Chains A and B, each alone.
Chain A
């Protein structure tokens, strides 16, 4: 078993060690997610149809978001913490090991609450998504590619802390931005915003495009997803490694 896989396995074991606490946090998150579903149901009850989207469509979108967020924030929980870890000098322990630092960081922490999203997402899809084998395959594909995009984006935002200092506030903003935009149907947004979501804040590739692929498989769009995922993986990896040269490891308290 490779070092990274072994680390992930240990992180999961560590997260599960206190069973009660783990399931408690999972159920809190599930309750939280269900509230959002209730909101959408109430919303569409009032509003009807929204530019071709109804409650059912949005719930499928939501299931994709949950699963993707579950991977990025639940399984690879450090993806959103890179900024904070850098500021706190907590990269030390990773840097003293003979492992690729980013891969190790991403596999070394599992968050119980967001794992709840990872568990609920596919369930919601199975219940509300008319899961045929093709749709399920697209769901899986979309989630995997979308997770890579999301993780790459979050790592890049967090790595900015290595360059500009601070405690990861830029990462928080990036994190909130991409998740908020990814929670709503793409067709709500007009020109400039939509372009933003296909570029700098790639929320479109986290939920929008995967949702489209689930509805209708389209080869060019699938290839685009793969390309964008590779691109953001590279951006995240690159920013982080360039940033390591500026790492100050918490040695300096005045910042």
Chain B
């Protein structure tokens, strides 16, 4: 079943002086129910604008979309009852009150029967390890703790789709990793479709199975994360340690990137020469103590994608 569908979505903003800005320039994609999709792009790429059209906040200039079969900007309230949102830079929690008080209000807003609200809170609190935070004033919570409660708030009404817009902004590394893990847990346990926008590439690595890359308002890549890694850069990274610091390292098919003391980093163009023969060559000609072969970092892959002509 298709949970989210966009067809040639376009959004142009009129600007007081000058050319109108085309934030989203014709985007089309479809998301199956239960998928975890990362929607990434550099700042100003059109990510937030896309999400806002899909959640009914913005009316598109042209194009179509349906979320759970509903056109977002036409039946906004009906859709709102079935989706959840988490905008990293905005809070749903009332600052001076406890998260529990906000949850109570949300229960009224989403018309959740009291006993069901209690049960869901217990379950979510346990799942997200946040129960002990429910009765502390929001202003006293750390950002990481607050984000966990925000996630509870977004999930309270058991939405079928969860939209997250830059949710890990401002979190430290540990909190980020933890948060990503929680999103995966929600998806696996509750079957919620996840659409996550980010400009942090680690969000793809840890959360998503599928990635859409958008730049200048256009969709420039749409595939599984694993495929992206493999298909896009025909390179491997070699990290080598030698017995003695070599004078130089020259191997056909490999390019020396860094040489410091007895260690060296090389990049192999596997299109030109298979990695196996490069390794054989290296081991034959040099005294190698240790060697590791790795994929290029995802950052590099993504930058490569951004740089593609649109």
Contact = CB atoms under 8 A, between A and B. Distances in A.
A20 interface: no
B57 A247 contact: yes
B80 A6 contact: no
A246 B58 CA distance: 8
B109 A98 contact: yes
Interface string A90-125: 111101111110000000000000000000000000
Interface stretch (A7-15, A25-33, A37-45, A188-196): A7-15
**Interface bin, chain A:** 20 to 34
A119 to B, nearest CB: 20
Contacts of B13: 248, 251-252
A18 B94 CA distance: 13
Interface in A209-233: none
A96 B80 contact: yes
A251 B15 CA distance: 12
Nearest to A16: B96
A13 B101 contact: yes
A interface secondary structure, majority:
loop
A255 B78 CA distance: 32
A245 interface: yes
Interface string B59-83: 1000000000000000011101101
Interface in B177-218: none
A32 B92 CA distance: 34
A13 B56 CA distance: 30
B105 interface: yes
Contact of A6 (B48, B92, B108): B108
B136 to A, nearest CB: 13
A1 interface: yes
A7 B85 contact: no
B97 A10 contact: yes
Interface string A58-102: 000000000000000000000000000000001111011111100
Contact of B15 (A13, A96, A247, A252): A252
26 contacts: A2-B108, A3-B111, A6-B105, A6-B109, A10-B94, A10-B102, A10-B105, A13-B94, A14-B96, A92-B52, A92-B87, A93-B90, A93-B92, A95-B80, A96-B56, A97-B80, A98-B80, A99-B77, A246-B59, A247-B58, A249-B49, A249-B52, A249-B58, A251-B13, A251-B48, A252-B13
Interface of A: 1-3, 6-7, 10, 13-15, 17-18, 90-93, 95-100, 165, 245-249, 251-252, 254-255
Given A98-B77, A252-B21, 12 more contacts: A6-B108, A10-B97, A14-B96, A17-B137, A92-B87, A95-B56, A96-B83, A246-B59, A248-B13, A248-B58, A249-B58, A254-B21
Interface of B: 11, 13, 15-16, 18, 21, 23, 48-49, 52, 55-59, 76-78, 80-81, 83, 85, 87, 90, 92, 94-97, 101-102, 104-105, 108-111, 137
What are the nearest 4 A-B pairs in CB distance? A17-B96, A6-B108, A98-B80, A98-B81
